[in-house]
Chain A
Amino acid sequence: MSQPTQRQPTQRQTTSRLSIVSPAFEAVASHASEGSLVLVGINHTTAPIEVRERLAIPSTRLADATRTLAQQPGIREALILSTCNRVEFITIQDRNQDRVNGSATPDLLRFLHDYFAVPAASLEPHLYEFREREAVRHLFRVASSLDSMVVGEPQILGQVKESYSIARQAGAISSALEPLLQRAFAVAKRVRTETQIGSSSVSIASVAVDLARKIFGSLHAKTVLIVGAGKMSDLAARHLIQQGATSILVSNRTHERAAQMAAQIADQISTQLASDPAAIACTTEVIPFDQIYDQAARADIVLTSTGSPHPIFNRSHGQAFLERRRNRPMFFIDIAVPRDVDPRMDQVEGCFVYDIDDLQQVAAAHLANRGRESAAAEAIVTREVDLYLERLQSRDAVPAIVALQNSAESIRQSELERASARLAATGAALTPAQLSAVEALTRSLTAKLLHPQLTALRGTRPSDKE
């Protein structure tokens, strides 16, 4: 019978390869009919970027890599998850491949060595390995974004789904990984629905967008003025465009730099429109720096990141803008240090000023909230791992259960026939009513005698059931 085991550390880094095996689980071998589930990988906690980038596989090569992995000796099914923070190889291996030199990964290591031309010895210190129950648990945690650098970030589920889709098309997924991955998607969805782990933004750019939405609702048809052509403002502008902003004004002390940034944004919009016809068209315009006070009132959102030592916008500017806008609110996102917007502008009714510290505080609070929610999410994952393994074990036990029942029934019938024949020989043959009663009695006895064995095979106790 499979009992829920104590929660194990989900990842450990050692100088040698690590195998985390749940003995209770291994005894019943949930993937016995298909093979052994083994997950090997590196992530942001076990390997620096120099190592991760050597194993990273671009999406264009993922199908080929997955196919090659699945063709390795002893590997029946395979999936590769490659993101900027992790590369993981999820495989179903022949059980006779287990335990070579105390580890389950010889074929995987050979594959890594052959495919990436990376010496196995240089990878081993960074690799983690999970088997069976812990591999299931790890996959559920990854899909639910509990193992991400930014817990709760939504991209990882899409990346797992994309890897699954590629592996499926490559013919590398079959009866063992298919239900496991489907369950992982369902668990991730449940975690998102039942906890608030992904409900708030944790990056500066997305916090700024969230705040803009709290002020304006939809950003559709909103105008954004970018003052200063820095990398952060470019990133924030991209977020705002994705959310529907339809007019981007760019201004910089160096006019050419502003023109360059406007062109880059225009290119990005064109690409977005080409890939997604439903995307909203957006215009860009360069504003000469000496005209920003005349033009700023056109903007609903002002994003500033100049290197100016003094504030560019002060309180009186805010009042003038609001007057020209007939009190329609304005949102100033000031990510410059020193600040470009005088904080006293926030006292103007209708002007909302958030500097980099304000944004970071909101992001940090959201992150802390995600940390609190992750405890609830971990509980869901633990429960789901137990349920999944119980179902798997129950499914694997079906042939044995049928065989046991058939055997018992065969013994019962032969013993009944023998006893009936003896009675008939002594002239005391059973009447139909007596025969029927004995039939019922033997059936009931057989069922009761078999019950503990069948329950053990199914791997469930009545109290375990939902």
Chain B
Amino acid sequence: MTLLWLRLAVLLYGIAALAVLPAALYDRPRWRHIAVPATIAAALFHFVSLTETLNAAHHRLPIETHELQSLLALILALAFLLVYARYRSVSLGIFVLPIAFLLATLAAFRPGQETFSAPIRTGWIFLHIVFLLAAYAALFVSLLASLLYLIQERRLKRKSTGHGWLSPLDTPLETIDQIALKSLLFGLPCMTAGLLIGSVIAQQDYGAKYFTDPKILLTFGLWLAYIAMIFIRRASGLRGRRAVYLSSFVFLVVLFVWAANQFSAVHRFSIP
């Protein structure tokens, strides 16, 4: 039954991902009346599915890879809805919804066998996971917004005429910039809180040796890169191409950190 809800959510994410294209790229605002409700419905089914999955697995934490993928997809969909509620912009959905669709599809059709290797203590660790996933999602949203900024800038400079493909997006340039910056500003406290909670738990359970692991060091490096990126963006008003380069670099670090889960001695996913 849980997979049924998730597959229904996948279907709705797919519909939303398709509907958002004419709404954002072809200047057909009526399509947002399909994209947004479909995403809301998908997020609801997704939440029900995730909750039932965790209950059925007799743990309250998303510790298996497909559960984490599913949670990340849900957070991305919620980020899209949050941006829509605040800025009335669906442009971000061009990227976010297909990625939410893919992540949810992986979870729905290829439930993973890998689980987190270390013993898990419920409670605070739940916050650790949710905060870090929210920070990753915020960084991802910021990267996508920077890309959208670039697209909108190019379209405005191309001086394309009329409606349809290649006409400027429905979201103003400054709004896209605000989304990019505010996502980062939202992500930083999430990442800080997530790392702090994780550090306290690790210190209690494993002691100082936990912090010498390359994966953990890389994670703290990511945190510093995150701060540096916000500082540079705010200090120099970095926008456009250079902002995309910077966000891409930090996102690359995120991918390294995620990949390091496979090799870390103390913080890894493995087949039980």
Contact = CB atoms under 8 A, between A and B. Distances in A.
12 contacts: A213-B172, A214-B172, A214-B173, A216-B174, A217-B174, A327-B237, A329-B173, A329-B239, A349-B241, A361-B161, A362-B159, A366-B162
Contacts of A349: 153, 239-241
Interface of B: 152-153, 156-157, 159, 161-163, 168, 172-175, 236-241
A417 B28 CA distance: 69
Contact of B162 (A213, A214, A350, A369): A369
Contacts of B172: 213-217
A352 to B, nearest CB: 6
Nearest to A354: B159
A325 B237 contact: yes
B169 to A, nearest CB: 8
Interface of A: 196, 199-200, 211, 213-217, 325-329, 346, 349-350, 352, 354, 358, 361-362, 364-366, 368-369
B110 to A, nearest CB: 41
Nearest to B159: A358
Nearest to B161: A365
Contacts of A217: 172-175
Contacts of A200: 162-163
B25 to A, nearest CB: 14
A368 B161 CA distance: 10
Contacts of A327: 236-240
Contacts of A214: 152, 156, 168, 172-173
Given A214-B173, A328-B237, A329-B173, A368 B162 contact: yes
A214 B172 CA distance: 4
Nearest to B241: A349
Given A200-B163, A369-B163, 6 more contacts: A217-B174, A327-B237, A329-B173, A329-B239, A352-B157, A362-B159
B229 to A, nearest CB: 15
Contacts of B163: 196, 199-200, 369
B237 A326 contact: yes
A366 B152 CA distance: 19
B162 A365 contact: yes
Residue of A215, A358, A362, A368 ringed by the most chain B CB atoms within 10 A: A215
Contacts of A325: 237
Contacts of A364: 161
Shortest Cβ-Cβ A-B pairs, 3 listed: A365-B161, A326-B237, A217-B172
Contacts, number: 59
A214 B154 CA distance: 12
A326 B173 CA distance: 15
A182 B165 CA distance: 38
A362 B168 CA distance: 12
B172 to A, nearest CB: 4
B165 to A, nearest CB: 13
A329 B174 contact: yes
A327 B239 CA distance: 7
Residue of B168, B237, B238 ringed by the most chain A CB atoms within 10 A: B237
A186 to B, nearest CB: 20
B228 to A, nearest CB: 17
Contacts of A216: 172-174
A365 B172 CA distance: 20
A361 B237 contact: no
Nearest to A360: B161
Contacts of B152: 214
A238 B168 CA distance: 24
A349 B175 CA distance: 17
A211 B162 contact: no
Nearest to B162: A365
Given A327-B238, A369-B162, A215 B157 contact: no
A362 B156 contact: no
Contacts of A369: 162-163
A364 B238 CA distance: 35
A22 to B, nearest CB: 35
Contacts of B241: 349
Contact of A211 (B156, B174, B175): B156
A200 B164 CA distance: 12
Contacts of A213: 172
B239 to A, nearest CB: 5
A352 B236 CA distance: 19
Nearest to A352: B156
B173 A215 contact: yes
Nearest to B171: A217
A72 to B, nearest CB: 47
Nearest to B178: A217
Contacts of B157: 346, 352
A230 to B, nearest CB: 22
Contacts of A215: 156, 172-174
A364 B162 CA distance: 8
B77 to A, nearest CB: 24
A370 B97 CA distance: 32
Contacts of A358: 159
Contacts of A346: 157
B36 to A, nearest CB: 19
Residue of B159, B172, B236 ringed by the most chain A CB atoms within 10 A: B159
B18 to A, nearest CB: 21
Contacts of B173: 214-217, 329
Contacts of B240: 327, 349-350
A369 B152 CA distance: 21
Contacts of A368: 162
Contacts of A326: 236-237
A361 B175 contact: no
B83 to A, nearest CB: 14
Residue of B238, B239, B241 ringed by the most chain A CB atoms within 10 A: B239
B196 to A, nearest CB: 32
Contacts of B153: 349
A358 B168 CA distance: 14
Contacts of B239: 327, 329, 349-350
Contacts of A354: 159
Contacts of A211: 156, 168
A280 B153 CA distance: 29
A362 B156 CA distance: 11
B243 to A, nearest CB: 9
A212 B174 CA distance: 11
Contacts of A362: 159, 161-162
A328 B149 CA distance: 13
